[in-house]
Chain A
Amino acid sequence: MIPVCRLEDLPAGDSVRLDTTPPVAVFNADGELYAIDDTCSHQDASLSEGWLEGCLIECPLHAASFDLRTGRPTCLPARRPLRTHQVYVEDGVIHVLVASDAGAPGDGGAGAAEKGSAA
């Protein structure tokens, strides 16, 4: 699990980019927290710089849009989905469980954490 920032430092409508490889973007969509791969599956724009509306994020380069809940593109030019990642809030700090780590042996922390909601 990667600590992101304090919950109050990611207000609704805001996003933050984690410099992981590949980078991950964390969004506060009207109180719900989501994490998906930051690099648009179309070319190489950073989705954390995109336009957030509901749980859709519009890419700042060619306007592909992704559903933060599933990582799936909802329109062209993107055609491939992005990985989504689990988000937890623990002691007021947002954490992301990057998908490739999910299900790793001995990873028991997930169940104990609060659900990824800022509400």
Chain B
Amino acid sequence: MRTVVVVGASLAGLYAARELRAQGFDGRLVVIGAEPHAPYDRPPLSKGFLTGTADEEQLALADEEETAELAAEWLLGARAGALDARGRTIVLDDGRTVAGDGVVIATGAAARRLPGPPLAGVHTLRTLDDARALRAELARGPQRVVVIGGGFIGAETASSCVALGHDVTVVEAAPLPLTAQLGPEMASVCAGLHARGGAELLTGVGVAGLRGAAGRFVTGVELADGRLLPADVVVVGIGATPRTDWLAGSPLAVDDGVLCDDGCVTALPQVVAVGDVARAGGVRAEHWTSATEQPRTAVRNLLAGHTVETAHSLPYFWSDQYGSRIQFAGRRSDGDTVRIVEGSPDDLGGGPPTGPRGEGLLAVYERAGRTTAVLAIDRARPFMKVRRGLAADRAAELAAV
């Protein structure tokens, strides 16, 4: 293989570039990124970057020395618009073409937006530019902030806004946020963090629309039940969609992500997909750790010319809200029972404006006597132990088949 083109210059794309070099690829390496920025880390955008404890330098994913060592050609501020039928040539939006004999798709996901004309004061939070804009607006003094969506990004943003002294309401259409991820019992514990932290959480009610004259500042959020929430700033945190638009017309199958086998290899053996955009072995993960782990397997398979290894790591994510750190690992499914094995939901500490940490808690999910997943709030050490056990079980299970 002489030229490998990585499309997407963020977490998964950078890790793929690193793996290519680490695994001995010494050919031409081209990395295409739609954003003008060098690879940066997204998780701090809703946390320390918004509250001002982390600045832009701290977001950088690679330093100058490492970037030089990678010896890659960076085409930043350049969007891939198409992949040809053979899966070898990438056409950029500005008309340039880049040809390679290997392609890594790492285009991630884009924040979902509400329909309707754009209004000032309405934000999504996915990119550095999004975060800069929101941060600047929040710096203008105390405001009424409405966060639409109570998922992890919504909750983290709400928590950061409270820490900055804003008046925050979170609107969640489902009866309880995070139920799909955590199950009802633990979702309700996490929902309780909002009240403890000083944000209001409205659940079971959808958003009918935003109020404000086109092109002017938003003035409020209209709820499906007719209520009107006055708002100066609205953050839309209703999930993300995988960025596969540019693959239309290519031979690759796309269905909520780029379909690939469990080694991240697509229908074309010289094209692999990693990170938020990849639906590997039927599942799409939108987590930092998968975006950093998948590239190793994907690159191995890319260089081998076919799938020689599968990427079956244990799902893991974390979230920081209202001074608490939530960590989750494993594969929970509906019907799993959950058991709190350490600590208690009544002693999570914190509170406005994030008071002392409490005891936290550790909960395990079980099915047929086996642990399927683990959740911790401020209990990193025992969490790590259970997580490692789950990973070992998973490895043994895979070795047995």
Q: Which residues of A contact B (CB under 8 A)?
A: 43-46, 49-51, 58, 60-63, 76-77, 79
Q: Taking the complex as formed, is B388 at the interface, i.e. its CB lies under 8 A from any CB of chain A?
A: yes
Closest partner residue, chain B, to A45 (CB atom):
B380
Contact across chains for A62 and B380 when beta carbons are under 8 A apart: no
Q: Taking the complex as formed, is B152 at the interface, i.e. its CB lies under 8 A from any CB of chain A?
A: no
Q: Is the interface of A mostly helix, strand, loop or mixed?
A: loop
New A-B contacts (18) at CB < 8 Å, excluding given A49-B384, A62-B289: A44-B48, A45-B380, A50-B380, A50-B381, A51-B384, A51-B385, A51-B388, A58-B384, A60-B381, A60-B384, A61-B325, A61-B327, A61-B380, A62-B288, A76-B18, A77-B61, A77-B292, A79-B63
Interface size class of B (residues with CB under 8 A): 10 to 19
Inside 8 A of A50's CB, which chain B residues have their CB? 380-381, 384
Q: Which of B262-298 contact A (CB under 8 A)?
A: 288-289, 292
Q: Which of B306-328 contact A (CB under 8 A)?
A: 318, 325, 327
Contact across chains for A43 and B44 when beta carbons are under 8 A apart: yes
Contact across chains for B318 and A61 when beta carbons are under 8 A apart: yes
Say which residue of A58, A60, A79 sits within 8 Å of B383 (CB atoms).
A60
The 5 nearest A-B residue pairs measured at CB: A60-B380, A49-B380, A49-B381, A60-B384, A51-B384
**Looking at B48, B325, B384, B388, which has the most chain A CB atoms within 10 Å of its CB?**
B384
Inside 8 A of B61's CB, which chain A residues have their CB? 77
In angstroms, Cα B318 to Cα A50, docked, is 15
In angstroms, Cα B329 to Cα A63, docked, is 13
Give chain B nearest CB distance to A2 CB in angstroms: 22
Inside 8 A of B66's CB, which chain A residues have their CB? 79
Give chain A nearest CB distance to B305 CB in angstroms: 27
Q: Pull 9 A–B residue pairs with CB atoms less than 8 Å apart, ordered by A.
A: A49-B380, A49-B381, A50-B384, A58-B384, A61-B380, A62-B288, A63-B289, A76-B292, A79-B66
Closest partner residue, chain A, to B376 (CB atom):
A60
Q: Which of B36-83 contact A (CB under 8 A)?
A: 44, 48, 61, 63, 66
Give chain A nearest CB distance to B64 CB in angstroms: 12
In angstroms, Cα B288 to Cα A77, docked, is 11
Inside 8 A of A60's CB, which chain B residues have their CB? 327, 380-381, 383-384
Give chain A nearest CB distance to B287 CB in angstroms: 11
Inside 8 A of B18's CB, which chain A residues have their CB? 76
